Amino acid sequence: MISVPVFDIEGKPLQPIEVDETRLGDGVRIALLRRVVHMYEMNQYIGTKGHLSRGEVSGSTRKMYRQKHTGYARAGQRTVPHRRGGGLAFPPRTRDLSYRLPRKALVGARRSALLARLRDGAVCVVESIPLEAPKTRVIARFLKAIGAAGRSLLVCDGDHTVIWKSGRNIPGVTVQRAGDLNAMHLLDADRLIFTRSAFDRFWEALVA
């Protein structure tokens, strides 16, 4: 069993949550995490760099002048790479490197990522964040009270607009919904902070 610390919005410790780590698998699957993180990185790659070849640039394809008796070196069309305004030889192409692994692999990666962060002691729970309007100072005071430094991921449940607006101006803080979490989100943050409802929802989705 792993004990997950629980705090109120003021940063005072409450009764911790006990979770059974065996329900997340036999151990952390490093090879699977590597494959899944690589997939997410490739899906973020924007392969927009590209240039035109000699057959794609705008220009006439007729021979510039006759082959012989001009006094000049023989020449073909104007779009060859060594002429100004011509295409490139072997130019870079726009490309899409995105791909997708099977759903079971993604679920297994989330389980391994959560297990790794639980063992690292990087996961904690806030009982609730009772905000009716965006208040950055409330989130900042809570993070300072629990000693959250570096990159922090605040995970909430349901409509997270108020919490997102409250935390977006704090350097290093990211707000996500529990239903949108993936393995890369879990591994990238230095501290994972779940609301109680978000942790219950995410846990049940993983162990179901």
**Mean pLDDT along residues 114-129:** 91
- Residue 137 in any domain: the answer is yes
Domain range for 156 is: 2-29+101-207
Instruction: Please write the tens of the pLDDT for every residue from 25-50.
Output: 888 999 999 999 999 999 998 888 89
Question: Do residues 71 and 139 share a domain?
Answer: no
- Residue 37 in any domain: the answer is no
Question: Do residues 110 and 188 share a domain?
Answer: yes
pTM for this prediction: 0.80
- Residue 195 in any domain: the answer is yes
Instruction: Please write the tens of the pLDDT for every residue from 8-22.
Output: 888 888 898 998 888
Instruction: Please write the tens of the pLDDT for every residue from 150-181.
Output: 899 999 988 888 889 988 889 999 999 998 89
- Residue 193 in any domain: the answer is yes
Characterize 35-74 residue by residue with b for buried, 16 or more Cβ atoms within 10 angstroms of its Cβ, and e for exposed.
Answer: ebbebbeeeeeeeeeeeeebeebeeeeeeeeeeeeeeeee
Q: Are strands 2-7 and 13-19 parallel, antiparallel or unpaired?
A: antiparallel
Question: Do residues 106 and 183 share a domain?
Answer: yes
pLDDT of residue 48: 87
What CATH number does residue 173 fall under? 3.40.1370.10
